[in-house]
Chain A
Amino acid sequence: DTGVSQNPRHKITKRGQNVTFRCDPISEHNRLYWYRQTLGQGPEFLTYFQNEAQLEKSRLLSDRFSAERPKGSFSTLEIQRTEQGDSAMYLCASSLEQGRANVLTFGAGSRLTVL
């Protein structure tokens, strides 16, 4: 297993276009998270899946954002009608539920630049 894989690593798009990011988590991990990180900030929670169920969404996740994890394996994050404020690093992480400890393993991220 090569860890958490994210594609594409960098996406440049024009305002108003749709973009989709893909995340392949560590295979035995049942939890999958999406975070967003902007310059000078720490990662901010967007949404969380346990297996294929999306259990929580942050208020940061506007109606233009949608995430899926159709078979409880890989996940996609789609942003519709992108805005310049969507420019950020989108990080995916996965973890295995183990009692109190919830150690997330992050991918390298997908950087979005909206022109």
Chain B
Amino acid sequence: GDSVTQMEGPVTLSEEAFLTINCTYTATGYPSLFWYVQYPGEGLQLLLKATKADDKGSNKGFEATYRKETTSFHLEKGSVQVSDSAVYFCALTSRTGGSYIPTFGRGTSLIVHP
């Protein structure tokens, strides 16, 4: 079945550091790819998405590029802030048994220190 693999956390960075969170996937068919973020005490919210190969999703300074050849969708940000501290989930949606079910990774916790 479909699956998403994320790097283990927590990732601890100082403010203004460069961030990379790795995500790879396996899927039958041609999935859409997403990054969701969960801030403390809140539900998951969509951060960015990409729907076809070589698409780049971007939002709030975060970027991720859909790489079909390496089945990856790594999340990057050039300069993190304390307010970026959250749990980040990589996800894909593909057709499964007649419906489209979002499949998630285990999440990567990001802690940014001042």
Q: Do A and B come from one complex?
A: no
Residues of B within 8 A of A (CB): none
Residues of A within 8 A of B (CB): none
